[in-house]
Chain A
Amino acid sequence: MFWKKKVPLLIVFIMGFVMAVQYFVPSDFSKKFYDTYIDWAIVIGIFGGVLGFFSFFRVHIHKVSKQAPNWQFSLISILCALLMIIAALLGGRGSGSLFMKLFLYTSAAINATVFSLLAFYISSAAYRAFRARSTQALALLLAAVIMMLGRVPIGDSISFWTAWGWPSINEISQWILNVPNLAAKRAIILGVGLGSLLMSLKIILGIERTYLGSE
């Protein structure tokens, strides 16, 4: 009980307290301590990577062995992962190697394409937003439209009212970015910042223990 529950909480408290104090202490010892902590955190993180790889292989091998629905695609995933490992062992990781080519022309291409799907999705999201169900959604929509027009030359061209001294769409969009958008961001950062701080304190004090897992 002591080793399983109390000691980890003690470590959390000590490390949390020490790292918080370290920020205010500029001495040589403090700096060396910080550098050592960074080295240790990186090494621990390295072993944490093992969890990810193990989970991946376990999940997919399990699907294949049980012939779960779409198990064939799990098999493809496993084979692709093994292929990459073998390619790196045989041909190295340099540019032009099989390893890099496989990554660039398959995974990187697929990821870039999935990312580009955002262009289609943002259009359907914009269409959905156009159906503005409330005045607040209308405000979101109007701000978005002004922003979009303000970022292209056409915004200036259609701003006929500038002849009477009124600001152009580009200038309005710049004001929206610099004023209400900034105010909203600040409000969120100030609030979310407090939330993060409370969470850090709760972790250090041992009030928040979800990350340690169940008892």
Chain B
Amino acid sequence: MHWSTDIWVWIAVFFTLSVYTFLWKDNPLYKFAESVTVGIGMGFGVVQWWNLSVVDRFWVPLTTRGTIGLVLIIPAIMGLMMVTRIVPRFAWMSRYALAFSIGAGSGFMLPRAIQASILQQLYATMLPINISWTGLMVNLFIVVGTLAGLIYFFFSKEHKGVFGGIANIGIWFLMVGFGATFGYTVMARLSLLIGRVLFILRDFLGMHLF
């Protein structure tokens, strides 16, 4: 075993272990780590916001792109109006910027969502059901499962009788689907823990066991 001499590694290990103490119970160490991450994260956000957004995406184009750049004053004014949200008396001014962003965002999304969420999904689900392994064990299941799922999410009719039966099949498909997602994610989550443990063993304690 060979302790690290790098103070920063010690700091990272201290915070790592502080967070793990939460598994036992809430304590001042965890609260300290929580407040540090909130503060450091906010400071990081401010600095990156200034350099990557304000300077790179606003100030530089404004001052170097001539007339086209100067037009950016208009959204800048709208952005400043957005900030008035904080002050209740002037909060109504922020609606202009919000209206612009959210209105445009909604209009932008409308046809694209029809293409991606509706038409493409329908195309991918219109599968041939012929007498073969693929036709019966794959395509048929997918078509029936999708239909049953859609019926489950149908809110205009109560889940009774035949309709209720199909909706029940739908929820079964949903549950199996969720179970698959759950199992799939377990391995990924375990690898995160392995990553932290390896950091402590290798970088901090200098133990190269694996």
- Listed in ascending order, the chain A residues whose CB lies under 8 Å from chain B are 3-4, 7-9, 11-24, 36-37, 39-56, 70, 73-74, 76-85, 88, 93, 99, 101-107, 109-120, 122, 125-126, 129, 136-137, 139-148, 150-152, 173, 175-194, 196-197, 199-201, 203-204, 211-213
Which residue of A12, A54, A151, A179 contacts B184 across the interface (Cβ within 8 Å)?
Answer: A151
Q: Which partner residue on chain B sits nearest A146 by CB separation?
A: B183
Distance between A36 CB and nearest chain B CB, rounded to angstroms: 8
In angstroms, Cα B39 to Cα A79, docked, is 7
Please name all residues of chain B whose beta carbon is closer than 8 Å to the beta carbon of A147 when the two chains form the complex. 179-180, 182-184, 186
Residues in chain A near residue B3, CB distance under 8 A: none
* A105 B8 Cβ-Cβ under 8 A: yes
Contacts of B112 in A (CB 8 A): 23
Q: Is the CB of B19 within 8 A of A117?
A: yes
- Indicate whether A19 sits within 8 Å of B142 (C-beta atoms), given known contacts A187-B152, A204-B103: no
Q: A44-B79, A51-B83 are in contact. Are A193 and B113 (CB under 8 A)?
A: yes
Check A184 against B192 for contact (C-beta < 8 Å).
no
A-B contact pairs, 15 of them (CB 8 A): A11-B96, A15-B104, A42-B53, A48-B83, A53-B46, A73-B31, A74-B35, A105-B9, A113-B15, A115-B192, A125-B182, A136-B175, A151-B187, A180-B173, A184-B145
B13 closest partner in A (C-beta)? A109
Taking a contact as CB atoms under 8 Å apart, the answer to whether B96 and A7 are in contact is: yes
Q: How far is the CA of A20 from the CA of B103 in the complex (A)?
A: 10
Bound complex: CA A144 to CA B186 (Å): 9
Q: Is the interface of B mostly helix, strand, loop or mixed?
A: helix
Question: Which residue of the partner chain, among B75, B121, B125, contacts A193 with CB atoms under 8 Å?
Answer: B121
Residues from chain B with Cβ under 8 Å of A142 in the complex: 179
User: Which of B45, B121, B180: most chain A Cβ within 10 A?
Assistant: B180
Does the CB pair B192–A84 fall under 8 Å? no
- For B55-67 the 0/1 string (1 means CB < 8 A from A) is 0011001000000
The answer to whether B110 and A200 have CB atoms under 8 Å apart is: yes
Chain A residues in 8 Å Cβ range of B39? 76-81, 83-84
Cβ–Cβ contact B57 & A190, under 8 A: no
**Roughly how many angstroms separate A111 CA and B34 CA in the complex, as a whole number?**
9
A204-B43 contact, Cβ under 8 Å, with A113-B16, A181-B180: no
CA distance A77 to B175 in the complex (A): 42
The interface residues of chain A lying within 8 Å CB-to-CB of B38 are 77, 80
Residues 1-43 of B at the A interface (beta carbon under 8 Å)? 8-9, 11-12, 15-16, 18-20, 22-23, 31-43
Residues of B within 8 A of A146 (CB): 183
Neighbouring A residues of B74 by C-beta, 8 Å: 40
Is B99 at the interface (CB under 8 A from chain A)?
yes
Which residues of the other chain, B, contact A173 by a CB distance below 8 angstroms? 180, 183
Bound together, the chains give a CA A134 to CA B112 distance in angstroms of 39
